[in-house]
Amino acid sequence: QGPSSTQDCPGWFSRLWEEQLDWMDEGLSHSDADWQVVVTHYPPEWGTATWASMSAKHGIDLIITGHVHSQGVHYLEPGNAMGPTAYIVSGGGGGITSGLPPHPEGEDDAYGFMDLTLSREEIKIEAISHAGIRRSVTCVRQRPRSGMPPPGVTARSLCDAPEEEQHV
């Protein structure tokens, strides 16, 4: 059952958001997965304090989002309030609503996709443009949960693989 009226709509969505936060908090509290990955529509610029708190508490490693019609990978750069939680915006399928005009040769982040390679110790994120150009490569390490020590790292980084081992 959705909102009963247009006046009820903001309150209905607010209640839904709170219910879903409780559901996610409960699920992450009981998770014993190696990686904590959350997929949601809005990037964490919406509700930053909530996402930062949830990420620290549960060791969320990666948030996969859309909504913004351009591509982006955010990890350890200055100003990322989520750090060390990474988040990606893979909203490059925006059609005529894309936030950026696409470059004919694909030298842009207007359209494209993200290719993720997971190992026990890292998630390698490759941002690929609509022309197949690798725009960025980022390797994400696990974020420890609240009160837990950081996981050990024993293998070579996926980002250190020779170019011939990388693919597009």
One pLDDT digit (tens) per residue for the chain, 168 residues: 889 999 999 999 999 999 999 999 999 999 999 899 999 999 999 999 999 999 999 999 999 998 888 889 999 999 888 989 999 998 666 556 666 778 888 888 888 889 999 998 899 999 998 899 999 999 999 887 777 766 666 677 888 876 655 444
79 half-sphere exposure, CB direction, 13 A CA radius = 2
**In the prediction, which pLDDT does 110 show?**
83
Please state whether beta strands 134-141 and 62-65 pair in parallel, antiparallel, or not at all (unpaired): unpaired
**In the prediction, which pLDDT does 37 show?**
97
**In the prediction, which pLDDT does 95 show?**
58
Q: Is the peptide bond before 84 cis (omega within 30 degrees of 0)?
A: yes
**In the prediction, which pLDDT does 99 show?**
67
Q: Using DSSP, how many helices (H) and how many strands (E) does the chain show?
A: 2, 7
